[in-house]
Amino acid sequence: MFDLLEAAASRGQAADNYPPFDSVRLADDQYRISMAVAGFREADLEISTQANWLTVRGERSVEPEGEYLHRGIANRPFERRFELAEHVHVVGAKLADGLLSIDLKREIPEAMKPRRIDIESGAGSNAKESVRQLLDQAAA
């Protein structure tokens, strides 16, 4: 799944890796994307999904408290898009200590999950059913 995330996140953004992010598999069906968004508040961030795309946008409006002598802290808007694999959806998001964590879960519908088919003995069950049908027909 994260091959798709990586490809989508870097597509068209080769020169701009802002903000940096990590993608982690927490369990077989649980994942997390963590983005470094120091200085952004919850109100400055927007997370949305449409079809199989996860989009994270950030824009903060900070008025300078004086004249900058050096400006090295990024204060620009961003948009990161991630292409999610089938049946993956966002289950929650949290902002703490400058990290935005987005939790994802893959839930495959029951109808699409592999299922085990029991194999019956060919001579036993079919033969018994055939004999039962013949006896029922003869009695009628």
Q: Which of 46, 79, 40 is nearest to 60 (CA)?
A: 40
Q: Which DSSP category does 113 fall into?
A: S
Give me the number of domains the chain comprises: 1
Instruction: Return the CATH number at 25.
Output: 2.60.40.790
**Alpha-carbon distance 100 to 38, whole Å?**
9
Please report, in tens digits, the pLDDT of each residue of the chain (140 residues total): 555 454 445 444 444 788 999 999 999 999 999 999 988 999 999 999 998 999 999 998 777 788 888 888 777 899 999 999 989 999 999 999 999 999 999 988 888 888 888 888 875 556 667 667 777 777 66
> If DSSP states are collapsed to H, E and C, what string results for 64-94?
CCCCCCCCCCCCCCEEEEEECCCCEEEEEEE
Q: Which structural domain, as residue segments, surrounds residue 38?
A: 2-139
What pTM did the predictor assign?
Answer: 0.68
**Alpha-carbon distance 9 to 96, whole Å?**
22
